[in-house]
Amino acid sequence: MRLLVIAALPDHQLLVRKHVEIEWPDAILVEHRLGADNPIEAQFAATGFDAAIIVGAPPAEAAEALTAVLLAKPEFAPILLILLQDAPSVEPEAVHGLRRLYGRKIDRDRLIRAIAAAAREHKQAISMLRSHPDFEQRYRFGSVTIRGHRCIRQVGSGGMCTIYLAESERAGTLVVLKVFNQVPDVSERIVGFDRFLQEYEIVAGLTHQNIVRIYDLGIADDHAYIAMEHFPAGDLRNRMKAPLLPLTALTFLEQMASALQAIHSVGVLHRDLKPANVMLRTDGSLCLIDFGLAKANEMEVSLTGTREIFGTPYYMSPEQGHAEEIDARSDLYSLGVMFYEMLTGRKPYTGATAMEVIYKHKKADLPEIAPRFADYKPVLLRLLAKSPADRYQSAPELLEAIAALKTSA
């Protein structure tokens, strides 16, 4: 039994969970806080659930409005609307796919009967869908069929992956699905594939608010894929098109440094920090993604070979741009470039070619910092020091400096 439980109050979600688990101990419940979590997106159909349970306490307008929106979605799972109030003298007209339960308290027996009936209804609907000739197309991602993920649309592509927006039946949410172009033979040593798998292994082992969530990894039709968190609010690159308040920029820097602290603590460098790899959640928090260029310090096999340059020149540290040995201080330099850009609206170094930019990171003086950013100048100078020895030596040290700066502000 898989159920989506939507309620404004966590106590109501907990009560539903207890009733359900008494009847179905192995039930899987995915909870959504109405008014607190991100709004349910238009493309979400909840097809991986047996039913959706919405609990509305007086006034129940928000629960009623959400129910109407979800009922309008084709193929949406059956809905149980629990209204914690007395039943009206004249109940609303029956609607296909909707069951209403009234009462000041949740009646367990009525709830269980309604869930069971909804699950049977949904099973019949899915059986009818499967008989349709086009049913398999919903799981097609280009030439690849990936069960349990409904394709919504392609959102990007690159040399290594094609990227889709999909609905994960397992996660019960929309996800970004990165489909690797091919799985190499065991005898082949394809660096890109190693990086692809390494991205999952690194991130899946970390639980941090500012690091992307990974939901699934698999192989389908000789193609590897990763299902990860979807960010409808976009990335920092787009956010920076509008001016940022200095304190907002400082808060963003703090969140990125916190993520780096977690990453560096397990011996991993990101090596490709840039605004396009920093995503925004709708609650305003930031999240690091795209660890395909990350490198574990203790890995026995070098994935990049000798003196190869990977990353984006605008945000590379001087040592990375010159293929020298790098450590955590290189990632901190990249944070410094982004912090400079967030404050001033421009990159510290630009050029006609990538090599010109790389040269400036190594040799050119830092452009003059406007007087209005004087409070932030010491942090910028430390982060953007040419020599790693002159920078902050770790993410925790940077976080201490940010905390002191915020206190003084």
Write the burial class of residue 287 (CB in 10 Å: 0-12 exposed, 13-18 middle, 19+ buried).
Answer: buried
Going 227 to 229 to 234 to 239, the CA torsion angle's sign is: negative
Tokens 């109030």 locate to 85
Cβ–Cβ under 8 Å, residues 50 and 2: yes
Q: What is the DSSP letter of 277?
A: G
Structure-block tokens of residue 360? 């400036």
Do 201 and 169 form a contact (C-beta atoms < 8 A)? no
Catalytic site includes residue 86: no
Question: Are 38 and 282 within 8 A, CB to CB?
Answer: yes
DSSP secondary structure letters along 46-73: -TTSSEEEEEEPSS-HHHHHHHHHHHTS
What does the buried/exposed string (b/e) look like for 127-140 if buried means 16 or more CB atoms within 10 Å of the residue's CB? eeeeeeeeeeebbe
For residues 221 and 10, give the distance between their C-alpha atoms in angstroms, rounded to a whole number: 41
| Beta partners for residue 372, in sequence order | none
Which of 50, 216, 235, 272 is catalytic? The answer is 272
Say how far residue 19 (Cα) sits from the centre of its chain.
Answer: 31
How many helices (H) and strands (E) in the chain?
11, 16
Residues assigned a catalytic role: 272
